């Protein structure tokens, strides 16, 4: 799991097709959310995934914390990647892994001022249960954990990358103008954008999507060239 470019918040089949054509690796579909409205209902998401044959490229992003409910929703969608953004206990993650052995599980670590030590402990607690982590931003004004359009302290994400052997995806306020710098500073396994590639009407902007993918690919390639290796 390296050099992953994920874009979340797909609103239509045409928008999903745009992302596929732009060579986005993973497409994120937020459902059963904490504060935000869903972009598409589950029945429409399942149609998009089936129509484009997304398979492993579709990611269910959810705040659900009940393992059977998450497994059922992933099965309905035909989705094998699940991004866990809620306060799900390690025991529930273990149950989810057992009930859906084919699922790739990604645990969100939401950065807020002063909680880095807690996030590093969480990375240790969940490290044996999940396949990857994603760092995202907490919004102090709304209480939102993700999809805030705001960056966080990238040094915190860099510390998490250094603290866990699991891949770490960086999210939170990433745009075509800052994703390259973010990759070089954090050295993540992947990056995620949601609002950072949207037009004022909330739809994905094709030029921003393409620029984001190009800048991310350029930075990942530069990172590899600058890595002295073993």
Give dist(CA 40, CA 106) in Å, integer: 21
Number of domains in the chain: 1
pLDDT in tens, 58-111: 999 999 999 999 999 999 999 999 999 888 999 999 999 988 778 999 999 999
- Helix-helix angle 206-226:179-186, to 10 degrees: 30
* Model pLDDT, residue 151: 85
Question: Which of 3, 45, 44 lies closest to 27, judged by CA?
Answer: 45
Q: In CATH, what number is assigned to the domain containing residue 187?
A: 3.20.20.70
**Residue 153, token pair as written in the block:** 């302290």
Give dist(CA 76, CA 167) in Å, integer: 27
Question: Which residue has 């050295």 as its token pair?
Answer: 187
**First and final CA of the chain: distance in angstroms?**
19
The boundaries of the domain holding residue 45 are 4-226
pLDDT in tens, 181-206: 999 999 999 999 999 999 999 899 99
Handedness of CA 165, 166, 167, 169 (dihedral sign): negative
């Amino acid at each position: 799991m390296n050099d992953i470019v994920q874009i979340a918040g797909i609103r239509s089949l045409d928008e999903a097709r745009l992302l596929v054509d732009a060579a986005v690796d993973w497409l994120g579909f937020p459902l059963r959310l904490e504060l935000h409205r869903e972009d598409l209902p589950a029945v429409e998401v399942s149609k998009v995934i089936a129509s484009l044959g997304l398979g492993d490229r579709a990611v269910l992003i959810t705040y659900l914390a009940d393992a059977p409910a998450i497994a059922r929703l992933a099965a309905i969608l035909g989705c094998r990647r699940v991004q866990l953004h809620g306060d799900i206990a390690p025991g529930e993650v273990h149950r989810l892994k057992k009930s859906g052995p084919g699922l790739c599980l990604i645990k969100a670590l939401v950065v807020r001022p002063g909680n880095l030590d807690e996030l590093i402990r969480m990375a240790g607690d969940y490290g044996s249960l999940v396949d990857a982590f994603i760092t995202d931003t907490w919004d102090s004004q709304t209480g939102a954990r993700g999809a805030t359009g705001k960056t966080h302290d990238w040094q915190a994400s860099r510390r998490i990358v250094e603290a866990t052997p699991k891949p770490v995806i960086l999210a939170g306020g990433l745009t075509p103008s800052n994703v390259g710098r973010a990759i070089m500073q954090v050295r993540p396994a992947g990056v995620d954008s949601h609002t950072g590639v949207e037009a004022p009407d909330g739809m994905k902007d094709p030029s921003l999507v393409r620029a984001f993918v190009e800048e991310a690919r350029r930075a990942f390639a530069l990172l590899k060239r600058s890595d002295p290796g073993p």
